[in-house]
Chains A and B, each alone.
Chain A
Amino acid sequence: MAQAKAKDIAQEPTATPSLLRILTLVTVLGVVVALVFALVIAGTDIEQGEVQRIFYVHMPAFFGAFVAFGATVLGGVMYLWKRDPKWDRLAVAGVEVGFALALINLITGSIWARPIWNTWWTWDPRLTSEAIMVLTYAAYMMLRAGIDNVDTRRRFASVYGILAFATVLLVLFIIRVRDDTIHPTVVGNSPQNAQGSFAATSGVVGALMVGLLVWGLIVPVTLMWYRIRLENMLDWVNRKKMEVLSA
């Protein structure tokens, strides 16, 4: 217990490190470049028309959410093992960034589905499982908010963050298990009843690769870094508050 307390000391907030500044610049430029690739360089889809371009954000955003939620699992396991709050900060950052990217994924998918499937939303297995995944991470945030003790909160959040990843895997694998989905499969063959497919030309592949790099890696890493710094600052302020109160 005493050891855990000693480790609890958050670092004094520092000025934004220059690497993070550079990364921020790269992220902004990357989003612009990815948009240029998606909106200009990639050819217009013959079957679906301009709306298909949303796919270059849609699929990479899910990939980014996957990376962020993966970071939560890593943070959770490492926190339970080492009991260093910095791992818990990584876990929170992962959940919040992943949640935002999953929402982007849902919203862009919905906009795409309106002209292609003729509906904003349908209770398709993949859509349903994704909605459940988003709700699971909403539950994670509620669980965190419901616990006052810092150590307990971190422990519970770590355990729940590990369990919650099951729903992410469910979204990935449900297409293989339930063949009644109409959602196209990106990797491997689409089911017979998939509505709207993805045939690739070089421009399409290029836009997808840039999108994956930007939305799937650079954006989540940058955002998570900021979020970790913010959480560190929060911990530091709380500790200062306690010091003042106990003085």
Chain B
Amino acid sequence: MKTGFWQVTFAVLRKDMLAEMRSRELLSVMGLFALLSVIIFSFALELDREARETAISGVIWVTVAFASIIGLNRSMNSEREQGNFDALLLAPVDRSALFLGKFLGNFLVVLLVGLVLLPLGTLLYNITLIQPWVLLILVLGIFGLSSIGTLLAAMTAQTRARDALLSIAMLPIVLPVLLAAVRATTSIISNEPIENWITWPQILLVVDLIYLVLCFFTFGFVIEE
């Protein structure tokens, strides 16, 4: 008998979260990287307030993107090295459910890093980042990053160059997501009227959905063996 789709999804998610809670392997590395990145940017760009307003969203998103690449690499590599992935593939379950479980796990971890970045950025750059709209953009942007990232990490984990290849393969493809997210964040923190930037969250949502559907259906091809 086949285990139900959502049952599998949540089993994988629960396993990832439990492992993460006990080892804190991903969060410690990603968190430290994010902290360092924001600090380095903040003294590399000792800028006046206006310039900071335009720079901060770029800083936040570059940091989130690279942190997610680090996290995705580690999460997939440990899955491979410890043989867990082979066991998952042996199980008589839906491959797309595996994708959804891994995706949700990665999404939550990266989102947590993103949520830590907002108060940190607010502190270091003296610009209020903790706003409902910024939070929404953060969720949407990380959603897109994680779906493409989960698919590509599953792919590159099986290649020779691994870590290096994931960043090369992932960054150009997530560019539409990053572009929309950066533009929206910049507009929001400079208090522009909503009709000026509302198209960006809309574009982000559409791109997210397209990517999710594409990844959902192609994941099965990536991990078959």
Task: Please list the residues of chain A having a beta carbon within 8 angstroms of any beta carbon in chain B.
Answer: 80, 129, 132-133, 135-136, 139, 142-143, 146-148, 152, 155-156, 158-160, 162-164, 166-167, 170, 177
In contact, A163 and B159 (Cβ under 8 angstroms): no
Q: Is B43 interfacial (CB 8 A cutoff)?
A: no
Q: Which of B159, B160, B175 is in CB contact (< 8 Å) with A170?
A: B175
Q: B73: shortest Cβ distance to chain A, in Å?
A: 14
In contact, B199 and A156 (Cβ under 8 angstroms): no
Question: Which of chain A's residues have a CB closer than 8 A to the CB of B151?
Answer: 159, 163
Q: Which of B158, B172, B203, B218 is in CB contact (< 8 Å) with A159?
A: B218
Task: Please list the residues of chain B having a beta carbon within 8 angstroms of any beta carbon in chain A.
Answer: 148, 151-152, 155-156, 158-161, 165, 168-169, 172-173, 175-176, 199, 203, 210-211, 214, 218, 221-222, 224
In contact, B159 and A80 (Cβ under 8 angstroms): no
CA distance A175 to B173 in the complex (A): 18
Q: A24: shortest Cβ distance to chain B, in Å?
A: 33
CA distance A167 to B203 in the complex (A): 14
CA distance A104 to B211 in the complex (A): 30
Main DSSP-derived SS at the B contact region = helix
Main DSSP-derived SS at the A contact region = helix
In contact, B173 and A156 (Cβ under 8 angstroms): no
Q: Which of B159, B173, B199, B224 is in CB contact (< 8 Å) with A164?
A: B173
Q: Which of A136, A146, A147, A158 is in CB contact (< 8 Å) with B172?
A: A136
Q: B196: shortest Cβ distance to chain A, in Å?
A: 11
A-B contact pairs, 15 of them (CB 8 A): A129-B175, A139-B168, A143-B165, A148-B160, A152-B158, A155-B221, A156-B222, A158-B221, A159-B155, A159-B221, A163-B218, A166-B173, A167-B173, A170-B175, A177-B199
In contact, A155 and B224 (Cβ under 8 angstroms): yes
CA distance A177 to B173 in the complex (A): 18
Q: Which of A139, A164, A166 is in CB contact (< 8 Å) with B176?
A: A166
CA distance A146 to B156 in the complex (A): 9
Q: A80: shortest Cβ distance to chain B, in Å?
A: 5
9 A-B pairs closest in CB distance: A136-B172, A146-B159, A159-B218, A139-B168, A146-B161, A139-B169, A132-B172, A156-B155, A135-B172
Question: Which of chain B's residues have a CB closer than 8 A to the CB of A170?
Answer: 175-176
